[in-house]
Amino acid sequence: MQNNVLILDFGSQYTQLIARRVRELNIFCEIKPYNRLPEDLTQYKAVILSGSPYSVRADDAPHPDLSGIRGKKPLLAICYGAQYLAHFGGGNVTPSKTREYGRAKLAHVAPDPFFKDIHEGSQVWMSHSDTIQALPEGAALLASTHDVANAAYKLPGENTYAIQFHPEVYHTTAGSTLLKNFLVDIAGLEQTWTPAAFVETTVAELKKKIGNDKVILGLSGGVDSTVAAVLLHKAIGKHLHCIFVNNGLLRKNEYEEVLDQYEHMGLNVKGVDASARFLDALAGEEDPEKKRKIIGRVFIEVFDDEAHQVEDARWLGQGTIYPDVIESVSATGGPSATIKSHHNVGGLPDYMKLKVVEPLKMLFKDEVRRVGASLGIHEERLGRHPFPGPGLAIRILGDITREKVAILQEVDHVFISGLRQWGLYDQIWQAGAILLPVHSVGVMGDERTYEKCVALRAVESTDGMTADWVNLPYEFLQKTSNDIINKVPGVNRVVYDISSKPPATIEWE
């Protein structure tokens, strides 16, 4: 792919944001760790260096070999990248007297194609503890702020630009303009990477790779597995065999409703109701991690049983998306990719000997939704809130019983249905109810009750890494609480969780 951007990751918390901003310009890009530079650079038309938590003055600072890039490809160095080029190019980088973090205004902008349509006073976002005191010899200063003299510069004789601020974050108001100036006007990339183009290219690649082989895919009802299934179906049709397992921990009526939706989409889907098998295996277990492992183990057993009924299957389809792939090759030794059990089938037995096909592995979540829309998948399915792989098991604190599952399904149904009826559902990233391991005193019909308490949770987020609680209308909460207590036997108290992530997590277990 010639119309491609390489982003070298030095461990910045913003690296994925760089990729998202580039792709919003309809330009394809890939993230690679700084210490795993691709041997073949011919497929990349431009390169971006990310920020980093490291200091360029530290002995263990990231120090890649850029000889195959410098002067040969347009290069944009952000924050640490800018300091790296200065420090190892004859300039001078020193510790800042104060940490330069937050909003700043461009106080000087030199005329250059890089800053086309960006003017003095434009807001940028700083996040660094070192500062560039002196530029490399011959470098041209392009921009300053009140506190940062060398906020942007260009190296002589090459299309190498360096900036001390972060164009990828929302607070840099002209960030997208700057990236477009660099990638389109300077590097000459075409803005042709669209959902429709992705579908066309991916379907052709899948046809070539799979041929007439059979593919097995575990569906969850979620966005990723659904879009992966439709893409594969478009490529290989009847050779795709989908399996949708009911673990007994889904939302009320979800098993039947999702199966019906999939069948109307023309997919070859087999539903497997293994709820009794899962609930029996979970009986008496209270530890959250052990509950997850039990569910994962039983899922693999059920999936394995069903997969063996598909003769001559050669491939396992998975809804792995790009953040999973990025984590697995983190430049900072971060967490390896643990395949989410509600999207993918991780840890399958070796004897299954299936090759893996992951048609979405280069897409972010929002891109998956856009591709799904271009495939004609119904908006309601694409807008579905994320739902944990272990399902309601991690929303029932303590041991799992059929009675508790039934109660929580009813509570959750009242809550989610209410969000839809009030037009609130699409404003929320994720919502659900939690059954607490406590009883509380109540009064109903002049009689004393001692029944269960449930917590409602609704958060807003872009990627689930951080989240804030949603300020739902008091009138909605009042009606929802009243409906739950009146309609769900066994519950006499409702509370609303107003914790953000961090320090809390979205789920309670």
Residues labelled as active-site residues: 79, 166, 168
Q: Report the distance separating Cα 390 and Cα 145, nearest Å.
A: 50
Query: Rounded to 5 degrees, what are φ and ψ at 338?
Result: -100, 110
Q: φ and ψ at 199, to 5 degrees?
A: -60, -50
Distance CA 120, CA 23 (A): 27
How far, CA to CA in Å, does 352 sit from each of 188, 269, 476? 47, 20, 50
Residue 99: Cβ within 10 Å count: 12
Q: What order of strands is seen across the sheet that includes strand 214-219?
A: 269-273, 240-246, 214-219, 313-317, 355-357
CB neighbourhood size of 239 (10 A)? 18
DSSP string computed for 226-290: HHHHHHHHHHHGGGEEEEEEE-S-SPTTHHHHHHHHHHHTT--EEEEE-HHHHHHHHTT---HHH
**474-487 and 402-421 are packed helices; what angle lies between their axes, rounded to 10 degrees?**
140
DSSP lists the bridge partners of residue 430 as 459
- Cα separation, 271 vs 300, whole angstroms: 15
